[in-house]
Structure 1
Amino acid sequence: MSVTEQYILDTYRAQRLGEPAPPAPGAHDWEVVRELRDHRRFRAAVAGRPARGRIRSAAVRLLRTRP
């Protein structure tokens, strides 16, 4: 069963039971991405690493150490 078919079935069941319809698939994708980014920054700060620009600073360190 595809995601769309499951959503249609869940919407039908909710309507028959008088419950609110579930959110559409993909409705909160960007919110989840932002929360994941914030969580990774938090974990980096707790571990004592820079919370932002870690890839760029690592690349700069690599480029500076080359002869």
Structure 2
Amino acid sequence: MNALQQHLFDTYRAAQHAEPAPPVPGTHDVAVLRAARDHRRFEAVLAGRPTIGRLRLALRRRRRAAAC
């Protein structure tokens, strides 16, 4: 059973019990991704690491080391 079939089944069941319909699959995906990003940034602050531009900084350090 895929997500759409499960959603239709849950919607039918909610209608039978006079309950509100569940949210459509994928409704909260962006919010979950933002929360994960914010958590990673929070952990970086607690560890004393930069929160933004870490990949760019690492590549710059590697390029400078290769040039020497």
What whole-Å deviation, never above 9, does each CA across 1:9-66 have from its counterpart, x for those lacking one?
A: 0001111111111110011111111111001000111111111111110001111112
Identity of aligned residues (%): 52
Provide the alpha-carbon RMSD of the alignment. 0.8
Dislocated runs of 4+, deviation >3 Å? none
User: In 1, Cα distance between the equivalents of 2:41 and 2:30?
Assistant: 17
TM-score, normalised with respect to structure 1: 0.93
**Aligned positions, number:** 67
Q: Which runs of 5+ in 2 are unaligned?
A: none
Alignment gaps of 5+ in structure 1: none
* In structure 2, distance between residues paired with 1:18 and 1:61: 61
